[in-house]
Structure 1
Amino acid sequence: MTAVVKNEAFEVHHELDTCGLFCPEPVMMLHNKIRDMKSGEVVRVIATDPSTQRDIPKFCNFLDHPLLDQNEQDNQYVFWIRKREH
C-alpha cells in the first residue's frame, strides 16, 4: 500500500488496528509490531482511544521512530510511523 502524506509518498509495509482497545494496549501492540519490523519500514496504526493522540507521539519521540503524520478520520486516529534506521 502506498500513502501520500504531506505531499510525500511512501510505502506502508504494515497495518496495526487497535480499534476498541484502551491505554496502554495500543502502545504495547505498537511496541511489539515495531520490534518485528525492519529498519525503515512504515506502519499505519488505527486507533479509537483518544489518549493515543498523546501516547503514540510520545512513544515515537522517546524511541526515536519518525512519526510521519497523524490525523483523525471518522472518529478514528491514524498514525504513520517509520521504524528508525540503525
Structure 2
Amino acid sequence: MQNHDAELDARGLFCPEPVMMLHTRMNEIPVGQVLRVVATDPSTTRDVPRFCQFLGHDLLSQEEADGLFVYLIRRCEG
C-alpha cells in the first residue's frame, strides 16, 4: 500500500458524517499530501469518489477488506 501523510478514522460513522469529516480533514493538510481514510459505512464507496471528483482531489486507491473501506486521497489545489 502507498504511503500517506495523514489519516482519518471514520469507523462507526454513517452518512453524511464520514464525508463531512473528510472535507474538514482535507482542508487541514497541505496540497500534495496524501490522506488515508478508514470507514465502515458502505455508502462511502459512492460518496468518497464523488467528493474527490467534485472538489478535484486525486483518489489514488479504494479498497475493501473485512468490512473496512480504505481510501488514499491526494489533496489537490481546489
Q: Same fold (TM over 0.5)?
A: yes
The equivalent of 1:34 in structure 2 is 26
Provide the secondary structure at the position in 2 that maps to 1:81. strand
In the alignment, structure 2 segments of 5+ residues that lack a partner are none
Provide the secondary structure at the position in 1 that maps to 2:22. helix
CA RMSD of aligned residues (A): 1.1
Distance 1:40 1:47 in 2: 22
- Given the alignment of the two structures, is residue 65 of structure 1 paired with residue 60 of structure 2, yes or no? no
Distance 2:20 2:67 in 1: 21
TM-score, with structure 1 as normaliser: 0.86
Q: Percent identity?
A: 54
Report which of the two structures shows the higher radius of gyration computed on alpha carbons: 1
TM-score, with structure 2 as normaliser: 0.95
Aligned residues: 78
In the alignment, structure 1 segments of 5+ residues that lack a partner are 5-10
